[in-house]
Amino acid sequence: MKLIIMGPPGTGKGTHATHLQNKYGLQIIGTGNILRQEVEKKTELGEKIKATMDAGHLVDDAIVIEVVKKRIKLIKSYILDGFPRNTEQALALKNFLKERGEHLDTVIYIETSEQELTERLSGRLVCNKCGRVYQIRTMPPQMTGVCDTCKQSLTHREDDAPEVIKKRIETYREQTEPLLEFYRDEDILKTVNGNQDPESVFADIIGVLEQI
């Protein structure tokens, strides 16, 4: 199965992708995480990527498309989290799959209101060691500020600062939201209500997948 999980920043794509990985054994290809790993390596490319991410802009299409192609070549069942993010990326993905005689099964769109997104992103905490994500209100850690899994201190992502959040949501509206129409035309878009608690959102996602 080949899925895309789509929605504005803060909608919980990464968390739901992890649950889907556990439930169905799908591999996650999360471009945000892949790019953050490159930043961690402190290479010249990593420094360039960091500046773009910290400003809330999209990283160069050529870089991201190459990274995704390299990974999807090797696996049959996956969830794309954070990709594609604009029309150029969506077309590159479509053509690449077509060349290989493959296609996407479903695009799950988690529709979430702006107020909910801002609240969630400003209360998001991450573990820099294992990558686990928490949310102060909806998914808090057992001990304040400490990762349940590896007991490391939790931090805020640098791009979760209020002014960057605003820019990221703006970038999403301008560049990524038009893809909803693209996938609606392909008849593979399924929408779930993201303004619910995470368990209900996930139950709706499962409901969609059980139908295909």
- 83-84-89 Cα angle (round to 5): 135
Q: Is 85 a catalytic residue?
A: yes
Q: Is the dihedral of CA 147, 149, 151, 157 positive or negative?
A: negative
Report which residue's Cβ sits closest to ligand AMP.
Answer: 32
- The catalytically annotated residue of 2, 124, 132, 190 is 124
Please identify which residue in 7, 8, 12, 82 interacts with ligand AMP, judged by CB under 6 A: 82
Q: Give the residue carrying structure tokens 């878009």.
A: 189
Please identify which residue in 2, 50, 168, 190 interacts with ligand AMP, judged by CB under 6 A: 168
Binding mask 109-128 for ligand AMP (x = CB under 6 A): --------------------
- Of 9-38, which residues contact ligand AMP (CB under 6 A)? 9, 31-32, 35
Q: Are the C-beta atoms of residues 125 and 145 closer than 8 Å to each other? A: yes
- Of 52-71, which residues contact ligand AMP (CB under 6 A)? 52-53, 56-59, 64
Q: Are the C-beta atoms of residues 179 and 90 closer than 8 Å to each other? A: yes
Q: Are the C-beta atoms of residues 83 and 29 closer than 8 Å to each other? A: yes
Q: Is 36 a catalytic residue?
A: no
Would you give the DSSP letter of residue 57? P
| Helices and strands of the chain, counted as H and E runs | 9, 8
Min separation Cβ 157 and ligand AMP, Å: 8
Active site residues: 13, 85, 124, 157, 168
- Which residues bind to ligand AMP, rule: CB under 6 A? 9, 31-32, 35, 52-53, 56-59, 64, 82-83, 85, 89, 159, 168
